[in-house]
Protein backbone atom coordinates (compact mmCIF):
# COMPACT_ATOMS: atom_id res chain seq x y z
CA UNK A 1 0.00 0.00 0.00
CA UNK A 2 1.29 3.43 -0.96
CA UNK A 3 1.29 5.68 2.12
CA UNK A 4 3.21 8.70 0.85
CA UNK A 5 4.56 10.33 -2.30
CA UNK A 6 7.15 12.90 -3.38
CA UNK A 7 6.28 16.12 -5.17
CA UNK A 8 7.62 19.66 -5.50
CA UNK A 9 6.73 22.44 -3.10
CA UNK A 10 6.69 25.45 -5.40
CA UNK A 11 7.09 26.64 -8.98
CA UNK A 12 10.71 26.79 -10.08
CA UNK A 13 12.66 27.46 -13.28
CA UNK A 14 15.80 26.31 -15.05
CA UNK A 15 17.63 27.52 -18.16
CA UNK A 16 19.70 26.00 -20.95
CA UNK A 17 21.14 27.54 -24.13
CA UNK A 18 22.47 25.74 -27.20
CA UNK A 19 23.47 27.27 -30.56
CA UNK A 20 21.30 30.31 -30.04
CA UNK A 21 18.20 28.40 -28.92
CA UNK A 22 17.00 29.16 -25.42
CA UNK A 23 15.24 26.52 -23.34
CA UNK A 24 13.35 27.66 -20.24
CA UNK A 25 12.23 24.88 -17.90
CA UNK A 26 9.29 25.51 -15.58
CA UNK A 27 8.36 22.96 -12.89
CA UNK A 28 5.03 23.24 -11.08
CA UNK A 29 3.15 21.20 -8.45
CA UNK A 30 -0.25 20.09 -9.79
CA UNK A 31 -2.96 18.09 -8.02
CA UNK A 32 -5.10 17.12 -11.00
CA UNK A 33 -5.72 17.52 -14.72
CA UNK A 34 -7.56 20.83 -14.24
CA UNK A 35 -4.45 22.27 -12.59
CA UNK A 36 -2.33 20.99 -15.49
CA UNK A 37 -4.57 22.67 -18.07
CA UNK A 38 -4.65 25.93 -16.12
CA UNK A 39 -0.85 26.00 -15.74
CA UNK A 40 -0.27 25.19 -19.41
CA UNK A 41 -2.60 28.00 -20.51
CA UNK A 42 -0.84 30.42 -18.18
CA UNK A 43 2.63 29.50 -19.47
CA UNK A 44 1.54 29.68 -23.11
CA UNK A 45 0.21 33.18 -22.48
CA UNK A 46 3.35 34.23 -20.61
CA UNK A 47 5.67 32.87 -23.34
CA UNK A 48 3.33 33.54 -26.25
CA UNK A 49 6.20 34.29 -28.65
CA UNK A 50 8.09 31.03 -28.09
CA UNK A 51 8.36 28.44 -30.87
CA UNK A 52 7.55 25.39 -28.71
CA UNK A 53 5.92 24.66 -25.33
CA UNK A 54 6.83 21.03 -24.66
CA UNK A 55 5.79 19.31 -21.46
CA UNK A 56 5.31 16.19 -19.39
CA UNK A 57 3.38 15.51 -16.21
CA UNK A 58 2.75 12.73 -13.72
CA UNK A 59 -0.40 12.62 -11.57
CA UNK A 60 -1.89 10.35 -8.91
CA UNK A 61 -0.62 9.29 -5.53
CA UNK A 62 0.93 6.26 -7.22
CA UNK A 63 2.17 8.18 -10.28
CA UNK A 64 0.00 6.08 -12.58
CA UNK A 65 -1.27 8.91 -14.80
CA UNK A 66 1.19 10.64 -17.11
CA UNK A 67 1.44 12.31 -20.50
CA UNK A 68 4.09 13.85 -22.75
CA UNK A 69 3.77 16.41 -25.55
CA UNK A 70 6.48 17.29 -28.08
CA UNK A 71 4.56 20.33 -29.41
CA UNK A 72 5.91 20.12 -32.95
CA UNK A 73 9.41 18.90 -32.12
CA UNK A 74 10.47 15.50 -33.57
CA UNK A 75 8.73 12.57 -31.86
CA UNK A 76 10.22 11.62 -28.47
CA UNK A 77 12.80 14.43 -28.58
CA UNK A 78 11.17 16.68 -25.96
CA UNK A 79 8.32 15.21 -23.90
CA UNK A 80 10.04 11.90 -23.14
CA UNK A 81 13.30 13.41 -21.81
CA UNK A 82 11.25 15.83 -19.68
CA UNK A 83 9.20 12.92 -18.30
CA UNK A 84 12.43 11.03 -17.64
CA UNK A 85 13.60 13.76 -15.30
CA UNK A 86 10.35 13.72 -13.32
CA UNK A 87 10.67 9.95 -12.96
CA UNK A 88 14.37 10.16 -12.11
CA UNK A 89 13.44 12.32 -9.11
CA UNK A 90 10.67 9.89 -8.13
CA UNK A 91 8.04 12.64 -8.29
CA UNK A 92 4.31 12.74 -8.91
CA UNK A 93 1.72 15.52 -9.06
CA UNK A 94 4.35 17.41 -11.03
CA UNK A 95 4.23 19.25 -14.36
CA UNK A 96 7.36 20.36 -16.22
CA UNK A 97 7.11 22.62 -19.25
CA UNK A 98 10.13 23.53 -21.37
CA UNK A 99 9.68 26.61 -23.53
CA UNK A 100 11.97 26.92 -26.58
CA UNK A 101 12.99 30.08 -28.38
CA UNK A 102 14.49 28.91 -31.67
CA UNK A 103 17.93 30.33 -32.39
CA UNK A 104 18.10 29.61 -36.10
CA UNK A 105 20.26 26.47 -35.98
CA UNK A 106 18.80 22.96 -35.90
CA UNK A 107 20.14 20.81 -33.08
CA UNK A 108 19.21 17.37 -34.35
CA UNK A 109 17.27 14.83 -32.32
CA UNK A 110 20.14 14.01 -29.93
CA UNK A 111 20.78 17.72 -29.36
CA UNK A 112 17.10 18.33 -28.64
CA UNK A 113 16.93 15.40 -26.23
CA UNK A 114 19.90 16.79 -24.31
CA UNK A 115 18.51 20.33 -24.30
CA UNK A 116 15.03 19.42 -23.07
CA UNK A 117 16.41 16.96 -20.52
CA UNK A 118 18.86 19.56 -19.15
CA UNK A 119 16.29 22.37 -18.94
CA UNK A 120 13.87 20.06 -17.11
CA UNK A 121 16.63 18.84 -14.80
CA UNK A 122 17.67 22.39 -13.91
CA UNK A 123 14.06 23.38 -13.15
CA UNK A 124 13.63 20.39 -10.84
CA UNK A 125 16.99 21.01 -9.14
CA UNK A 126 15.70 24.43 -8.13
CA UNK A 127 12.40 23.05 -6.82
CA UNK A 128 11.95 22.22 -3.18
CA UNK A 129 11.00 18.54 -2.99
CA UNK A 130 8.63 17.43 -0.24
CA UNK A 131 7.07 14.19 0.94
CA UNK A 132 3.28 14.16 1.33
CA UNK A 133 1.51 11.69 3.62
CA UNK A 134 -1.59 10.14 2.01
CA UNK A 135 -4.66 10.58 4.20
CA UNK A 136 -8.35 9.74 4.16
CA UNK A 137 -11.28 11.18 6.13
CA UNK A 138 -13.09 9.38 8.93
CA UNK A 139 -16.06 10.35 11.08
CA UNK A 140 -16.19 9.51 14.75
CA UNK A 141 -19.66 9.50 16.31
CA UNK A 142 -19.57 9.14 20.07
CA UNK A 143 -21.35 9.83 23.35
CA UNK A 144 -20.22 12.87 25.30
CA UNK A 145 -19.05 10.56 28.09
CA UNK A 146 -16.61 8.97 25.62
CA UNK A 147 -14.84 12.26 24.82
CA UNK A 148 -11.65 11.34 26.70
CA UNK A 149 -11.31 8.09 24.74
CA UNK A 150 -11.79 9.96 21.47
CA UNK A 151 -9.22 12.61 22.40
CA UNK A 152 -6.73 9.83 23.12
CA UNK A 153 -7.47 8.31 19.71
CA UNK A 154 -6.88 11.68 18.06
CA UNK A 155 -3.59 12.08 19.89
CA UNK A 156 -2.33 8.48 19.52
CA UNK A 157 -3.10 8.22 15.79
CA UNK A 158 -2.22 11.84 14.95
CA UNK A 159 -5.67 12.55 13.56
CA UNK A 160 -6.20 16.04 12.15
CA UNK A 161 -9.61 17.43 13.15
CA UNK A 162 -11.47 18.92 10.18
CA UNK A 163 -14.79 19.53 11.92
CA UNK A 164 -16.12 18.80 15.39
CA UNK A 165 -19.33 19.26 17.37
CA UNK A 166 -20.08 18.71 21.06
CA UNK A 167 -23.69 17.88 21.90
CA UNK A 168 -25.42 14.99 23.61
CA UNK A 169 -24.19 13.01 20.63
CA UNK A 170 -20.77 14.23 19.54
CA UNK A 171 -19.02 14.00 16.20
CA UNK A 172 -15.50 14.57 14.90
CA UNK A 173 -14.47 14.47 11.26
CA UNK A 174 -10.75 13.85 10.98
CA UNK A 175 -8.02 13.10 8.48
CA UNK A 176 -5.97 10.00 9.17
CA UNK A 177 -2.87 8.64 7.46
CA UNK A 178 -3.77 5.58 5.38
CA UNK A 179 -0.88 3.86 7.14
CA UNK A 180 -2.78 4.09 10.45
CA UNK A 181 -6.25 3.05 9.24
CA UNK A 182 -6.15 -0.61 10.25
CA UNK A 183 -4.70 0.10 13.69
CA UNK A 184 -7.32 2.81 14.25
CA UNK A 185 -10.13 0.42 13.31
CA UNK A 186 -8.80 -2.21 15.69
CA UNK A 187 -8.53 0.31 18.53
CA UNK A 188 -12.12 1.49 18.03
CA UNK A 189 -13.37 -2.11 18.14
CA UNK A 190 -11.40 -2.64 21.36
CA UNK A 191 -12.92 0.50 22.92
CA UNK A 192 -16.44 -0.57 21.92
CA UNK A 193 -15.87 -3.99 23.45
CA UNK A 194 -14.93 -2.32 26.72
CA UNK A 195 -18.09 -0.19 26.81
CA UNK A 196 -17.23 3.01 24.96
CA UNK A 197 -20.03 4.37 22.75
CA UNK A 198 -18.12 5.15 19.58
CA UNK A 199 -18.61 4.52 15.85
CA UNK A 200 -16.07 4.90 13.08
CA UNK A 201 -17.20 5.70 9.52
CA UNK A 202 -15.13 6.43 6.43
CA UNK A 203 -16.25 9.52 4.55
CA UNK A 204 -15.28 11.62 1.53
Question: What is the mean pLDDT of the segment spanning 104-111?
Answer: 92
The reported pTM is 0.85
Question: Domain tally for the chain?
Answer: 2
Among 132, 150, 180, identify where a domain stops.
132
132, 160, 179 — which closes off a domain? 132
Asked if 144 and 85 sit in the same domain, the reply is no
* DSSP assignment of 140-196: EEEEGGGHHHHHHHHHHTTPEEEEEE-SSEEEEEEEEEGGGHHHHHHHHHHHHHTT-
Whether residue 105 sits in one domain with residue 91: yes
Tell me the average pLDDT across 67-90.
97
Q: Are residues 45 and 124 in the same domain?
A: yes
CA 116 – CA 113 distance, rounded (Å): 5
CATH of the domain at 101: 3.30.230.30
Regarding whether 127 and 148 lie in a shared domain, the answer is: no
Q: Are residues 85 and 96 in the same domain?
A: yes
Question: What average pLDDT does this structure show over 49-74?
Answer: 96
Choose one of 70, 102, 132: the last residue of a domain.
132
Residue-range definition of the domain harbouring residue 186: 135-203
pLDDT, position 109 = 95
Least Cα distance to 169 among 191, 199, 202 occurs for 199
Report residue 145's pLDDT band, with 50, 70 and 90 as the boundaries. Answer: confident
Instruction: For residues 157 and 185, state if they share a domain.
Output: yes
For 22-60, write each residue's pLDDT tens digit.
Answer: 999 999 999 999 999 999 999 999 999 999 999 999 999
> 118 and 51 in one domain?
yes
Please check whether residues 140 and 84 belong to one and the same domain: no
Amino acid sequence: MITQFRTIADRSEGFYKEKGSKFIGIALPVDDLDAVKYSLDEIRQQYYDARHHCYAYILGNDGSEFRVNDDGEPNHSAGDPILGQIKANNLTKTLVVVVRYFGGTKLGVSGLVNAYRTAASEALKNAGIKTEIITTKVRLDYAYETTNDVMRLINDFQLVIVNQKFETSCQAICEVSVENIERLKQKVVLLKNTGSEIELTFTN
